[in-house]
Amino acid sequence: MPPSHLSHWGLLITGDPLIYGADASIALASIAIVYVLTKYKKWKWLWDEWLTTVDHKKIGIMYLIAAILMLFRAGTDAELMRTQLALPNLHFLGPEHYDQIFTTHGTVMLLFMAMPFIFALMNIAVPLQIGARDVAFPYLNAISFWLFFFAAMLINISFVIGGSPDAGWTSYAPLAGSTFDPGPGENFYLMALEITGIGSIGTGINFLATILKMRAPGMSLMKMPLFTWSIVATSILIVYAFPALTVVLALLLIDRVAGAHFFTITAGGNPMMYINMFWIWGHPEVYILILPAFGVFSEIVSTFSRKTIFGYKSMVFSLLLISLISYFVWAHHFFTMGADASVNSFFAIASMLVGIPTGVKIFNWLFTMFRGRIRMKMPMLWTIAFIPCFTMGGMTGVMLAAAPADYQYHNSYFLVAHFHQVLIGGTLFGMLAAMYYWWPKVFGFLLDERWAKWAFWMFNIGFYVCFEPQYVLGLMGMQRRMYTYPSGLGWTDLNFISTIGAFIMGLGFIFLVWDIIYSIRYGERDLTGDPWDGRTLEWSLPSPAPHYNFAVIPHVTQLDHWWELKQQGRQDELRPKASEMRPIHMPKNSGKPFLLGLAFFVVGVGFVFEWYALAVIGFLGVGALLLARSFEAHPDYHIPVDEVVHTETALGRL
C-alpha cells in the first residue's frame, strides 16, 4: 500500500500541500470579505437587503451565486482528479485524498451546484411567468435557501476540519458505516444532505402551491409556459422523493452515531436496504435535475425560433409521464446486485420506456425550429449544443438499461461517461442557457456575447475531448473510483486525452466568469425589459422587475400571451394604469430564516463530531425560532398606491 498522505493535528487535516493551500485561500477570502464589508460600511446593507430578504428574485440571485461558486469548487475537484489520472501510477493524490475528492466532487456538483442552480431559475422565473407577486410561502422560501447555504458550509469545511466524506457520493453501506469508515467525514455528508434536503422539500411544496394556486386570472394550466410546467413536474418529484433520502441518511447516521443495525453486517442489518432506499430517491433526483432543463429549452427554442412550441400538449404529457415512470426504474442503478431475472427485466423495460417521452421532446424541439426563424444568441447556442450531446447520453442510457449488457458497463468508465454526458449536456447546458437567457431580467444588463462564445466553444470541445474517450475506457475494462491504474492495459493514452479535455473545460469556465465580470462594467444595458423579443409574461416587466413584480396583475387569455399581444400591436394593454392600482400586500423581511439555517448548522456540527450538547442547543434554537415565527402577529405589510405609482413612473411605465 502506498503511504498515507493525510493525517490530523487535532481536528485540522494536515499532510498535504493542496489542503494547506486551500486553508490559506479560505482564510484570505474570509478576511477579504470582512475587510470589504467593513471598509465600505456594508454590513447593514448585507443584513437588510440580502440576509433577511424573502423576495424570490433576491433569493434566486443568492442561489445563482452559490451555484457558480460551487461549480468552481467541484470543478477544481475534477481537475485534481484528472491530473492524478493523467498517467498511470501517479502519486499527486494519495488514495485517501483522491477518495475524498471524488466523493465531494459528486456530492457538491449534484446537490450543491445543480440543485441550487435549478432553485435559482425557479425563483427567478416562475412567479414572473405566472403573473404572481411572489411564491406562495416567501418565508419558507428564505428558510429553504439558508438551509441549503449552511449545509453547503458544512460540507465545504469538511476537508479542513475533520476530513471529508470518502465513500463516494452514494455513500453505500456497509462501507460508509462506522465499522469501515469511522470518523467525522461521513457524518459531514449525512448532515449536510439532511439539512439541504429539508430545504429542498420546502421548495418543492412552495412551488407546487405557487403554480397551482397563484396563477394570473385566465392562465389555465394548459396556457402556462412550459418552463413552469417543468417545475410542476420537478416539484412533484422533489416532494415525493426527498423524504426517502431524509429517511435513508437518518438511518445511516443512527447506525454510525448510535450503534444501530439498519445497514450493518452483524445483528441482522441489511446493506441492500440502504442501496434500494437511496436509489428510490436517487433516480427521481436525476429527473429533478433534467426536467427544469427541458423546460428551459422549450422556452428558448420557441423564443429564438420566433415560433410557437411544437406539440405543447405532447410536451406537457411527456413531462408528467417521465415523472411517473422515474419512480419505477430505481433498480437499474444496481442490476448487478443479484435480483432475480424477472425483477431486473421489469426495471430494464421501465428504464427503456422512460426514454420514449424524452425522445419525443427532442423531436418537438426540432420541429419548433422547423419553419421558424432561428437567432443564434447565446441561449440558443447552448440549446443547439445540448441536442446532440444529451441525445447521445440518452442513447448510452438505453444501452445501460439492457440489464445483461449493464453487467459489463456497471461502475466502469462507460457509466461515468454516460452520466456526465446527460448531466453536463443536459442539466448544465440547460442551466447555462437559462443563465444567459434570464440574466438581463435579473440584473438589467446582458452578458457579453464575445466572451460567452469563447466559454461556449471551450466548454463544448473540452467536454467531448474529456468524456468520449471514457466510454472507450469503460469498454477496455477500467473501473470508476480508482485513484490510479496500471500501465500495460492500454488505458494511458485515453486517460491523458481525457485530462486534456478536462482542462479545456476549466478554461471554458474561466471565460464564463470573465464574461460576467466584464459585462458588469461593459455589458449592454437592457432598457426595454424585453431584450430577446420574448413570449412569456416576465418580458413584459422592466429589467430588473420592481420588488412587487406586477403593479397590476395581468389577465391572460392564451399561451404566449405577451408575444401574441405584441403581434397584434396590443402590448400596451399590459402597462399598468394608475386607476387600476390597489395597495399591494407584501411579506416583511425577516432574520429568522438566516438564524434557522445557523441553528441547523450547529445541529450539524454537533452530530458530525458527536458533541451532543451542541446538537441539543441547535435543536433548541430551531424550536425557539419556529415558535417565535408562530407568535408573530403581523409578518406582512401593504405598499400604498402612491408608492407603486411613484415606482412605476420612475421606471417609465406610467
Half-sphere exposure of 158 (CA within 13 A, CB side): 33
Residue with smaller CB distance to other proteins, 119 or 443? 119
Contacting range for other proteins; rule: CB under 8 A; set: 25-33, 150-158, 367-375, 507-515: 367-375
Residues 110-149 contacting other proteins, CB under 8 A: 133, 136-137, 140
Residue with smaller CB distance to other proteins, 490 or 591? 490
List Cβ neighbours of 13 (8 Å cut-off, separation of 6 or more). Answer: 6, 7, 19, 159, 160, 161, 162, 163
Cα–Cα distance for residue pair 123/58, rounded to 1 Å: 8
Cα–Cα distance for residue pair 77/93, rounded to 1 Å: 11
Is there binding between residue 15 and other proteins (CB under 8 A)?
Answer: no
Q: Which of 22, 402, 651, 654 binds other proteins (CB under 8 A)?
A: 402
Least distance (Å) from other proteins to the CB of residue 196? 15
Is there binding between residue 258 and other proteins (CB under 8 A)?
Answer: yes
345: cell is: 427485466
Is there binding between residue 362 and other proteins (CB under 8 A)?
Answer: yes
Q: Which of 56, 410, 420, 592 binds other proteins (CB under 8 A)?
A: 410
Cα–Cα distance for residue pair 557/511, rounded to 1 Å: 42
Is there binding between residue 631 and other proteins (CB under 8 A)?
Answer: yes
Cα–Cα distance for residue pair 247/322, rounded to 1 Å: 24
Q: Which of 266, 521, 569, 613 binds other proteins (CB under 8 A)?
A: 266
Least distance (Å) from other proteins to the CB of residue 431? 21
Residue with smaller CB distance to other proteins, 64 or 329? 329
Contact by Cβ (8 Å): 386, 297: yes
Which residue, among 500, 505, 496, 504, has the nearest Cα to 85 in the 3D structure? Answer: 496
CA 260, 262, 267, 272 dihedral sign is negative
Is there binding between residue 407 and other proteins (CB under 8 A)?
Answer: yes
Residue with smaller CB distance to other proteins, 1 or 613? 1
Q: Which of 254, 257, 320, 624 binds other proteins (CB under 8 A)?
A: 254
Range list of H helices, 581-640: 592-608, 612-631
Residue with smaller CB distance to other proteins, 329 or 497? 497
List Cβ neighbours of 27 (8 Å cut-off, separation of 6 or more). Answer: none
Least distance (Å) from other proteins to the CB of residue 604? 18
Residues 490-549 contacting other proteins, CB under 8 A: 490-491, 493-494, 497
Residue with smaller CB distance to other proteins, 22 or 362? 362
Look at the block and give the residue holding cell 407546487. 208
Contact by Cβ (8 Å): 103, 181: no
Output the CA angle 388-389-390, nearest 5 degrees: 100
Residue with smaller CB distance to other proteins, 61 or 448? 448
Three-class SS of 556-591: CCCCCHHHHHHHCCCHHHHCCCHHHCCCEEEECCCC
Residues 316-355 contacting other proteins, CB under 8 A: 334, 336-338, 340-341, 344-345, 348-349, 352-353, 355
Is there binding between residue 652 and other proteins (CB under 8 A)?
Answer: no
Contact by Cβ (8 Å): 447, 524: no
Which residue, among 74, 229, 259, 206, has the nearest Cα to 152 in the 3D structure? Answer: 74
Q: How far apart, in Å, are the Cα atoms of 16 and each of 246, 448, 576?
A: 34, 40, 61
Is there binding between residue 209 and other proteins (CB under 8 A)?
Answer: yes
Q: Which of 223, 453, 547, 653 binds other proteins (CB under 8 A)?
A: 453
Least distance (Å) from other proteins to the CB of residue 623? 7
Is there binding between residue 586 and other proteins (CB under 8 A)?
Answer: no
Cα–Cα distance for residue pair 649/20, rounded to 1 Å: 55
Q: Which of 477, 591, 640, 652 binds other proteins (CB under 8 A)?
A: 477
Is there binding between residue 469 and other proteins (CB under 8 A)?
Answer: yes
Is there binding between residue 38 and other proteins (CB under 8 A)?
Answer: no
Is there binding between residue 648 and other proteins (CB under 8 A)?
Answer: no
Is there binding between residue 206 and other proteins (CB under 8 A)?
Answer: yes
Q: Which of 212, 221, 222, 527 binds other proteins (CB under 8 A)?
A: 212
Binding-site residue total for other proteins (CB under 8 A)?
164
List Cβ neighbours of 318 (8 Å cut-off, separation of 6 or more). Answer: 357, 358, 360, 361
Contacting range for other proteins; rule: CB under 8 A; set: 51-59, 63-71, 117-125, 399-407: 399-407
259: cell is: 450503534
Is there binding between residue 408 and other proteins (CB under 8 A)?
Answer: yes
Residue 391 exposed, middle or buried by CB count within 10 Å (0-12, 13-18, 19+): middle
- Mask 279-298, x = binds other proteins (CB under 8 A)? -x------------------
376: cell is: 443564434
Contacting range for other proteins; rule: CB under 8 A; set: 47-55, 112-120, 248-256, 598-606: 248-256
Residue with smaller CB distance to other proteins, 26 or 395? 395
Read off the DSSP letter of residue 110.
I
Residue with smaller CB distance to other proteins, 83 or 391? 391
Read off the DSSP letter of residue 46.
I
Is there binding between residue 239 and other proteins (CB under 8 A)?
Answer: yes
List Cβ neighbours of 548 (8 Å cut-off, separation of 6 or more). Answer: 133, 584, 586, 639, 644
Q: Which of 479, 507, 518, 641 binds other proteins (CB under 8 A)?
A: 479
Q: Which of 110, 143, 211, 214 binds other proteins (CB under 8 A)?
A: 214
250: cell is: 437518518
Residues 377-396 contacting other proteins, CB under 8 A: 384, 387-388, 391-392, 395
- Mask 411-430, x = binds other proteins (CB under 8 A)? xx------------------
CA 576, 577, 580, 584 dihedral sign is positive
Is there binding between residue 18 and other proteins (CB under 8 A)?
Answer: no
- Mask 587-606, x = binds other proteins (CB under 8 A)? --------------------
Residues 44-83 contacting other proteins, CB under 8 A: none
Residue with smaller CB distance to other proteins, 305 or 589? 305
